[in-house]
Structure 1
Amino acid sequence: MRIGIVCYPTFGGSGVLATELGKALANEGHAVHFITYRQPVRLNEFNANIFYHEVRVPEYPLFEYPPYELALSSTLVDVIIKYDLDLLHVHYAIPHASAAYMAKQIVKEKTGRDVPFITTLHGTDITLVGKDKTYEPVVTFSINQSDAITAVSNNLREETYKYFNIKKDIQVIYNFVDIQRFDKKPIDAFKKAVAPKGEKIMVHASNFRKVKRVCDVVRIFAKVQSEVPCKLLMVGDGPERPVCEEAINKLGLENEVRFMGKQEQMEEILAISDLFVLPSEYESFGLAALEAMAAHVPVLSSNAGGLPEVNIEGKTGYLFNVGDVDTAAEKATLLLGNDDLLNQFKENAYQQALSFNINNIIPIYEKLYNKFCRCNCPEDE
């Protein structure tokens, strides 16, 4: 198949999932065309079946805000016609679903072809941005015009039906992880540099936006660190980082916490970690938590959104109510203070991750594509 993938090229979950999906499809022999405004951060290897098309947005003094959606639609039309794409798979509804709909109509007018597009909902496109009255009518319309709709968790599916008048079925296809990539042995020198006295290592990774509640990570760590010798790695960057750094300084923990910045090779950091902390206000799924589990790292997370579908209480880690720092710290202290329990949770986390292995999920997407693809390929091919 010839598949067009539209996504944001950033470190966020939707961009990561879309890129990893495209790479896996290319490895299966499909021709995959990425269409976005910058090369996706995880599109970092050569594959003869992968193509990248940059969306260029002309700047004119008349436009206070450059019309990216129009530029994207025009680029989609060009790529569909030039490369004879079979279908589009757009990740994150805003503005990708509406751009795909517009491109579909233009291609139909130009060539008579009805090019299907599949929309995958990822989270804030529904729970935060999409609910804004400014965008809601367009989001609802473009989702309903999609030939197929998928969501990355049951929770997100329910939230979408709750807040939008969606008239079509939404198929849940979970996020996935490349087990082989994250199942790595720790680099001893790296671990000793971070924890020279054998301290336990807690880690958090996100875009440091308000919804991630990064200051809760610091508060939890401060309480745990007073009971169990440990270090904290903060991976990523974003608007809440200065507030987080200020909180660390006030608590006198600047020598116990390292800010790692944005990292593409998370597997090396996770390999030396003992506990992944994700206290988010909301997560549609929690891809970062799943990647931690694939690296044998148990997860301490809030019970918000789709996180309980990934992190199993008392087995792969622990859950707590949003903002309940005391309970979170108690559970983390219990786990990090008991090596036998910690080792059991590490194995449990890995076994849970296996059920989300990329090899289990990719065939589900291929089966969905085949429903709409002109080639109408047999499901076992």
Structure 2
Amino acid sequence: MISTEELLIIHVLPENTSPCGGIKVHYDLSEIEKKLGIESIICFPNVNSIPHWMAKRDTGRITSYKEAQQYAYTSKKSGKKVVVIGWEDTYPLDSMFNDFIKVCYIQGHVFWNPILNNYRDKHILCISEFVRKFILREDAHVVEPFIRKDIFYPMNFNLKFFANRCNVLIQKRKNGDKVREDLINILYSSNKYSPTLLRRVQFYTLEDVSEIAFAHVLREHDVFIAHSYPEGFGLPALEAMASNTFVIGFTGGGGEEFMKDGQNCFVVKDGDLNALADSLYNFLLLDNQKLEVLIRNAYNTSLKYTKENTTQQYLRFLERVVG
């Protein structure tokens, strides 16, 4: 068992002024740490780079790299174990926090280079089993994100899905505007799709917004297009499932763990926009009974990703590192 009173955990995060799931999961871990009685700090390059788009959380103190570094040395001298968790870019860990227990939280396999020497002195966390498969380390440990049910929750099914329209949401991140444009071109240039059915479809692209705003927009839409790949996990698609918004698109790899084609969503091969157009059209052909089953299955899938499960995964990791 770990002694929570003798532990300090510092999350070393990059500057990011727009909403980013990679930063959000660190805030969630900090909230878990605080609830466990562990002293927790989140730090950014400077106080001006602290993001303001995050929904309020009961996290540890948020400060700058320099202040966190000074406090880490003071805490270590007083007898505390200091764990520093950063991203795949290890420069902040190695340049400012080299004298502490270092952890890399790998959230995307595309960022991982197993031959780099600068990972050898660090413990490894992965955001999904999919990412862990790419990590050539037997000690890599998975801590999955969880769905915040106070933010992402469904609208009443009967109110949402029986209207004679289909509002389709695409995030602008990672070329969302181009995906929207290409989908429209495919749908309206082919004679295999009924123009009458297509008139029901309205596409919307969403700028980077706060997670509360994102949750609100999800509840107003019928379909969420998961167009991003690769993805270490693909949290927006799972948040859509929690909001009763039907998911169509790419798993990006990480989404394979919860996106099940024909059971709780429609999955197509990553990057295949023609198949994506077909799946969107097939959605329009669904009867309400079949659609309700798919939506219920998706919502039930989201219920598996709880704060309690994430806490247990995280505790097992901490016990191995500092126990």
Q: Same-fold call, TM > 0.5? A: yes
Deviation string, structure 1 residues 103-122 (Cα, Å, up to 9, x no partner): 454x4xxxxxxx32221101
Structure 2 partner of 1:14: 22
Structure 2 contact 249–267 (Cα < 8 Å) conserved: yes
Distance 1:88 1:214, change over 3 A: farther
Shift in Å, 1:45: 2.8
- In structure 2, the gaps of 5 or more residues are 188-192
Structure 1 contact 184–268 (Cα < 8 Å) conserved: no
Shift in Å, 1:308: 1.6
**Correspondence 1:52 to 2:68:** no
Backbone CA RMSD of aligned residues: 3.0
Structure 2 partner of 1:181: 151
Q: Aligned to 2:104, which of 103, 119, 122?
A: 119
Residue identity matched to 2:290: L
TM-score (norm: length of structure 1): 0.68
Structure 2 contact 54–211 (Cα < 8 Å) conserved: no
Shift in Å, 1:317: 0.6
Structure 2 partner of 1:264: 211
* More RCO (CA 8 Å, sep 6+): 2
- In structure 1, the gaps of 5 or more residues are 56-73, 108-114, 162-166, 238-261, 377-381
Structure 2 partner of 1:248: none
Structure 1 partner of 2:70: 78
Residue identity matched to 1:21: L
Deviation string, structure 1 residues 223-266 (Cα, Å, up to 9, x no partner): 289434022221225xxxxxxxxxxxxxxxxxxxxxxxx23312
Shift in Å, 1:346: 1.2
2: CA distance, partners of 1:40 / 1:363: 28
Shift in Å, 1:272: 1.9
Structure 1 contact 7–14 (Cα < 8 Å) conserved: no
Distance 1:86 1:44, change over 3 A: farther
Q: Aligned to 2:88, which of 93, 109, 116?
A: 93
Residue identity matched to 1:119: C
1: CA distance, partners of 2:318 / 2:194: 49
Structure 1 contact 19–40 (Cα < 8 Å) conserved: no
Residue identity matched to 2:170: H
**Correspondence 1:336 to 2:284:** yes
Residue identity matched to 1:200: C
Structure 1 contact 292–299 (Cα < 8 Å) conserved: yes
Aligned partner of residue 182 in structure 1, secondary structure:
coil
Percent pairwise identity = 16
Aligned partner of residue 201 in structure 1, secondary structure:
strand
Distance 1:275 1:225, change over 3 A: farther
2: CA distance, partners of 1:216 / 1:45: 32
- 1:138-217 aligned at under 5 Å gives the runs 140-146=116-122, 148-161=123-136, 167-185=137-155, 198-205=164-171, 208-210=173-175, 214-217=177-180
Structure 1 contact 101–145 (Cα < 8 Å) conserved: no
Distance 1:27 1:296, change over 3 A: farther
1: CA distance, partners of 2:170 / 2:194: 15
Shift in Å, 1:292: 0.9
Q: Aligned to 1:3, which of 1, 9, 15?
A: 9
2: CA distance, partners of 1:100 / 1:216: 37
2: CA distance, partners of 1:8 / 1:103: 13
Aligned partner of residue 160 in structure 1, secondary structure:
coil
Shift in Å, 1:145: 0.9
Aligned partner of residue 314 in structure 1, secondary structure:
coil
Aligned residues: 297
Deviation string, structure 1 residues 195-242 (Cα, Å, up to 9, x no partner): 9x7522211225x235xx5422333356289434022221225xxxxx
Structure 2 contact 55–210 (Cα < 8 Å) conserved: no
Structure 1 contact 153–284 (Cα < 8 Å) conserved: yes
1: CA distance, partners of 2:36 / 2:181: 42
Aligned partner of residue 304 in structure 1, secondary structure:
coil
Deviation string, structure 1 residues 9-31 (Cα, Å, up to 9, x no partner): 53222112112222233244432
Structure 1 partner of 2:190: none
TM-score (norm: length of structure 2): 0.79
2: CA distance, partners of 1:214 / 1:43: 24
Distance 1:288 1:91, change over 3 A: farther
2: CA distance, partners of 1:225 / 1:31: 59
Shift in Å, 1:87: 3.2
Structure 1 contact 76–100 (Cα < 8 Å) conserved: no
2: CA distance, partners of 1:290 / 1:360: 16
Aligned partner of residue 134 in structure 2, secondary structure:
helix
